[in-house]
């Protein structure tokens, strides 16, 4: 498994999104997925305090056990937690990090991310509190999520010299949702920020599970939604045909297409079983050429 940098952190180019832990997976099933990820060379685990209302962090910490020092743990704070609060105020940050450390059963977090912007708190105040966590050794690097390019610029401007700065941004990005290309990705290049795409597989649309003319799979994220339209499935069929014509799957294409962007540090895809872990890990092996990328763009723009 190749690695890329997020600040000082060396992460596998395929990571594991842990939002299924505590929601669709119990502690035992979580451990099986975590073990499979480690066996596949994945060292980057991305969770959040809100996932499973705290259980994702708890189950991840249990599953890692004594192997904690071998991995990079990213977690997030800021979304309202029942009975605990939310937001980006320094007082809440100090409370939230202690709760995450306790659930993760560790004394440090590798990448601590503001889950969503908080317009009620000056970004300089938030960054000041996060800097304190870095200085104390409780956090190694800090990042943000769901930030616009303007917010990234404001955060950079609000970071004095010799203070911890955001080293990453995690936003929604996939072959079917390309909004970050307009300004966030260029801003990441300018500010030397690592980019982490979430929903890289479009909740399963880009795994091959959803095909035109076939019934939708049951018990999936999109089973009871209207997002799987004929128009979307037509695009998916084009992508499947392209990938298979090159000896790959649409999953391989979805992951490798994102990794073809130099600012993408890791594709953090979720998984509910070891088989999905192995498929995700293998998907990063396709190094798309400029000609292939141009062909994919043409298919997506039809």
- pLDDT tens track for 171-206: 999 999 999 999 999 999 999 999 999 999 998 899
In 3D space, the residue among 253, 232, 229 whose CA is nearest the CA of residue 241 turns out to be 253
Mean model confidence pLDDT for the chain = 94
Residue 157 has pLDDT above 60, yes or no: yes
In a domain, residue 95? The reply is: yes
At residue 290, does pLDDT exceed 70?
Answer: yes
Residue 246 lies in a domain: no
Instruction: Considering the candidates 51, 59, 92, 173, report the single residue annotated as catalytic.
Output: 51
Confidence check: pLDDT of 138 > 80: yes
* pLDDT on residue 83: 86
Q: How far apart are CA 6 and CA 265, in angstroms?
A: 7
- Its pTM stands at 0.93
The percentage of the chain sitting over the pLDDT mark of 90, rounded to a whole number, equals 87
Q: Is the model's pLDDT at 218 over the cut of 80?
A: no
**pLDDT > 80? residue 271:** yes
Predicted confidence at residue 208, as pLDDT, reads 84
Whether the pLDDT of residue 214 is over 80: the answer is no
Residue 81 DSSP symbol: B
Give yes or no for residue 148 having a pLDDT over 80: yes
51 is catalytic: yes
Instruction: For residue 270, tell me if it sits in a domain.
Output: yes
The CATH number of the domain holding residue 26 is 3.20.20.100
Percent of the chain at pLDDT exceeding 70:
95
User: What confidence tens digit (pLDDT) does each residue in 228-262 have?
Assistant: 778 888 999 999 999 999 999 999 999 999 999 99
Residue 239 inside a domain? The answer is no
Residue 217 has pLDDT above 70, yes or no: no
Tokens of 56: 């994702």
**Structural domain for 116, as ranges:** 3-207+251-287
- In angstroms, the CA 76 to CA 196 distance is 13
pLDDT at residue number 109: 98
Q: For residue 61, is it within any domain?
A: yes
**Pairing outcome for strands 3-6 and 9-12:** antiparallel
Sequence-separated (6 or more) residues with CB below 8 Å from residue 13: 1, 2, 3, 4, 259, 265, 266, 267, 284
- For residue 236, being part of any structural domain is answered with no
Higher pLDDT, 256 or 82: 256
DSSP percent split of the chain into helix, strand, coil, nearest 5: 45, 20, 35
Backbone angles phi, psi at 202, to 5 degrees: 50, 50
Please check whether residue 300 lies inside any domain of the structure: no
Strand-pair partners of 141? 111
Report the domain count for the chain: 1
pLDDT of residue 213: 63
In a domain, 227, yes or no: no
Q: How high is the pLDDT of residue 220?
A: 59
Report the C-alpha gap between 206 and 193 in whole angstroms.
26
Question: Which residues, other chains included, contact 134 with Cβ-Cβ below 8 Å and sequence gap of 6+?
Answer: 140, 141, 142, 164
DSSP the chain: --EEEETTEEEESEEEE-TTBTTTB-HHHHHHHHHHHHHTT--EEE--TTGGGGHHHHHHHHHHGGGGGGSEEEEEE-S-BTTTB-SS-HHHHHHHHHHHHHHHT-S-EEEEEE-S--TTS-HHHHHHHHHHHHHHTSEEEEEEES--HHHHHHHHHT--TTS--EEEEEEE-BTTB-GGGTTHHHHHHHHT-EEEEESTTGGGGGGT---TTSPPPSSSTTTTSS---HHHHHHHHHHHHHHHHTT--HHHHHHHHHHTSTTB--EEEE-SSHHHHHHHHHGGG----HHHHHHHHHHHH-
């Amino acid at each position: 498994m190749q690695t890329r940098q997020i600040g000082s952190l060396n992460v596998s180019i395929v990571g594991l999104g842990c939002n299924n832990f505590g929601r669709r997976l119990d502690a035992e099933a979580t451990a099986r997925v975590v073990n499979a990820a480690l066996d596949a060379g994945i060292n980057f685990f991305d969770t959040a305090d809100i996932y499973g209302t705290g259980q994702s962090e708890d189950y991840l910490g249990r599953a890692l056990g004594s192997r904690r020092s071998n991995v990079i743990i990213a977690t997030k704070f800021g979304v309202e937690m029942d009975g605990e609060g939310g937001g980006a105020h320094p007082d809440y940050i100090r409370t939230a990090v202690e709760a995450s450390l306790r659930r993760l059963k560790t004394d440090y977090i590798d990448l601590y991310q503001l889950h969503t912007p908080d317009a009620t708190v000056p970004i300089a105040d938030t960054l000041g509190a996060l800097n304190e966590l870095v200085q104390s050794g409780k956090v190694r690097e800090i990042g943000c999520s769901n930030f616009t390019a303007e917010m990234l610029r404001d955060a950079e401007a609000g970071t004095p010299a010799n203070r911890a700065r955001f080293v990453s941004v995690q936003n929604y990005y996939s072959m079917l949702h390309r909004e970050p290309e307009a300004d966030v990705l260029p801003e990441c290049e300018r500010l030397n920020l690592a980019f982490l795409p979430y929903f890289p597989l479009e909740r399963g649309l880009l795994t091959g599970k959803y095909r035109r003319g076939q019934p939708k799979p049951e018990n999936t994220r999109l089973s009871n939604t209207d997002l799987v339209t004929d128009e979307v499935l037509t695009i998916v069929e084009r992508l499947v045909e392209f990938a298979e014509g090159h000896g790959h799957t649409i999953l391989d294409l979805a992951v490798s297409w994102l990794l073809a962007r130099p600012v993408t540090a890791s594709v953090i895809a979720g998984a509910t079983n070891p088989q999905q872990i192995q498929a995700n890990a293998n998907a990063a092996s396709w190094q798309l050429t400029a000609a292939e990328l141009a062909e994919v763009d043409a298919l997506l723009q039809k």
